[in-house]
Structure 1
Amino acid sequence: MHGGVVSSRTVTSARTRRRTASDGGTVPGLVRRPLVIWLLAALAVPVLLVAVLVPATAGSTEDQLRAQTEAALRASGVNATVTMDGRDASVFVSTDVDEAHLREIVAGVDGVRVVSIERGLTGQGTGRTPSPQPETAGGFEIGRTATAIRVQAVVRSELAKESLRAEVERLLGPDREYDERVTVDAAKGLEEPGTLTALLAAMAIGTGDASVRYDGGTVTLSGEVPDQATKAMAARAAAKAVPGAVIADELIVPAAKPTQSEPCRTFKSRLAEFGRQHRINFLSGTSIVNDASKQAVVRAAELLKTCPTARVEVAGHTDDLGSPASSLPLSEQRAAALKNQLVRLGVPADRLVAAGYGQAFPIASNSTAAGRIANRRAEIRPLQEN
């Protein structure tokens, strides 16, 4: 360019570059891509993210729901195993638990639905796969039912497995069998399976369902033991078997029945002997005890006071001289009269139930005077509730 004049070559070159670009040619340094490729790429990215993330999220959700459901069951005293299929739960329970109660517990876990409830030792024989038990080093479960002792654990050698079997068989007794679920894994097995010996001994005591389960962090004891001493022994054994673990002691001791005193244990037999040796008879046509029976009434009161919890029936009877219609009220009057005399002698009224039976139950023939006297009587007998 000279003196402001643009050379024809320069102008031509610039026009050529513009035309080449507008005609779809290639401008140096610029790569063009069709618009459809960019659209496909934009759609593919979220699809790939969903494919990768959804299975992981679903698995995590199932594990979380299973753990929450099992925790809710344990908190209610139910020893059960749970498997999840999405939000649908299958519950495997070994104890005799009311099905409606189980469904109510599981329904209380947010997001969980109950599909089925199976009975059997953690799903055994149900055709379903129970939730995996802990396989980390040290994880185990020991369970007891009325008919079996169950051991689920991973040990490091066949020798350790045989040692556990020998210990269980020593504790089984004649009425139980060994439900063995012990596997061998040299890497993940229990280092010292002998530490379970004390737990096995504690779990062997009693006849109800009970279990101890270690998941790698917490030892959970659940079920029923016969007394506080066994419960304390099981807790100590768990702490010794897994030092430093959290001990969740959910064992239940049934309420003890009140202990009967010796006089109350023998009350029924002593009352029966009293009835064989002493008669309480009445004057004919009245509710007045005859002279020969007055001392028997005093002895009856003394006997009744030896067991303050016993309740008895005072039963009145008649001979057949009157009609059945008149005999029944007379027998009731005789029962009431004897009850009143016993109350005056110190027997609480709420321990005595008076009833009349008329002439329906004679103990002798009414054809003789002696037989009729014998039938004009009152008897004292224990009520079935004692």
Structure 2
Amino acid sequence: MKLTPTGKMTALLIVVGAAAGTYRYWNKLAPLANSKQTIVPKRIDLPSANTGNFGLTNTSYSQAGNEPGCTDKPEVRLLGYAWNAQMGMLLATGGAQATQGSLMCKNGVNFRWSRQDDNSKLQEALVTFATQLSRGDRNPTQGAHFVTIMGDGGAAFIKGLNDSLNRIGPQYQAKIIDAIGYSRGEDKFMGPAAWRDTPAESRGGVVAGVLRDGDWNIAQKWLGDNGLRTNPDERTYDPDALNWISANDYVDAAEKYVSGYTETRPVVRDGKRTGETRTIGVDGVVTWTPGDVTIAQKKGGLVSIISTKEYSSQMPCVVIGIDKWCKENRGTVESMIRAIAEGGQQVQNHPAALRRGAEINAELFNEPGADAAYWEKYFRGTRETDRVGQSVELGGSSVNNLADSLLAFGLVPGSANLVATTYTVFGNLTQQQYPEYVPNFYPASQVVDGSYLRNIERRLSAPQRVQQRTLVAKARPSFNNRGRRVVSRRSWNIQFNAGKATFTPVATRLLDQLSSDLLIAGGTIVEVHGHTDNLGNPASSMPLSKSRALAVKNWLGRRSSYNFPSSRVRVYAHGENQPMVPNNSDRNRARNRRVEIVLRAA
């Protein structure tokens, strides 16, 4: 993504007050927090009804006109970032407002898109819209009907928003109604190659970035996946954890690395100051395109440790609207969703549609130096050679067709609700590290509403259902090779009944957490390594460890056969041959009876 400095701040809070709300940025609050003990992040585990045309539109591409095309319809407004994941929606619109011959107009929606990178303004627009709606205006002209944000920031965004909307009335809650694309590589954690190859080498490292932002989430998940600690206090330095330098925005984060920025901080261990001080520099960066381009071209020396290419389900582009208006205008909402999905399918299938989408992005985003070729290049993702001769991955986005959106909401048999998972997992992460600001958040069941997509799917004709099944099959990832580099390695203390490959009752919660973690890391191959202690017959320990690893694989497959196909999850048995610690006590033997999960880039 390419945003202005106030762009992708995922943790903006609304302070409940007047109907319009009073807003403040999270990152202006958090630096004042008390010193904290370092922690291992949680393992991560967003008018009259218009029935529209629900027949599947012919996906052959023909360019729409340039003039507004359906202004006789009520206007439907959406505010969003300058983000390539919206390309299907913008292609469906044809420009800032639905144009002649556009998919939006064909579906009967007078759609208007405007850029807004500031999350507080997005929240304010929804509150303003809901306020006017509550005063009897059936289609308010103030505020916005919808906004788009990153799904991994949904819990924090909606917590403050819905706390304020509740003052208007519970029927005015904001809900996530669609997922229209993903970040697929452009958001990343960059650092020395040694960190990528041996994650423990990151201990004592220092990373610059926008704290509590979506890219910070990527690094936090990677730390949790590898059992490493983070220091949430950006005023201190802990040599046993990964430390943070707060940047104003993604550009500032990259420039801090390029310029050799330093700070002098007190040293802490286990949350207590030692009396020492240390001057620290920037070893790594969390950023998004073109911050990664700046690093590669101006200084180099960093590689992609992990990105939304591997954590492929982390960052969906979700659409949020006011529940009352959406329910009262269900036909219009479903027609809009349908047009967006058709636009996404055209971008996927036709190079000319991708080029036209990039042209619209360049026109509407209006970023200096970013023409249509720029947006197309970084939508596809690319490799470039950095300043020191290393090959670096840059960019990467995707858009959704209808099948992709149904999969994102878990509406295809055997699929998991990825939107609800990423919403919950990163909500828990924020609550874990900053409970003083997010002591709780709304459960996904109250926020994620797949009914609009479900209605569209139900109204497909028999031939259209066949086509949807084809698209679902096409969207299914294949995992035919062994995988590339190791992304993470961590032991899970999944409890089995003694001498058996059956789970104890307490294992379920940990298996649920493991499933969520692996769903977000959808671009990885999963290796399940079974281990036992040295008690019992050595001849039986190898088959027992294999049976236990298979039990985990089979549990994942039963939970979500689409997301955990047999080709993705691989089983390895080690018996008692790879103990973590000597088998010389009951405590150590308990540690050695484990399942180790290794993720490899697919």
TM-score for the superposition, normalised by structure 1: 0.29
TM-score for the superposition, normalised by structure 2: 0.20
Greater helix share, structure number: 1
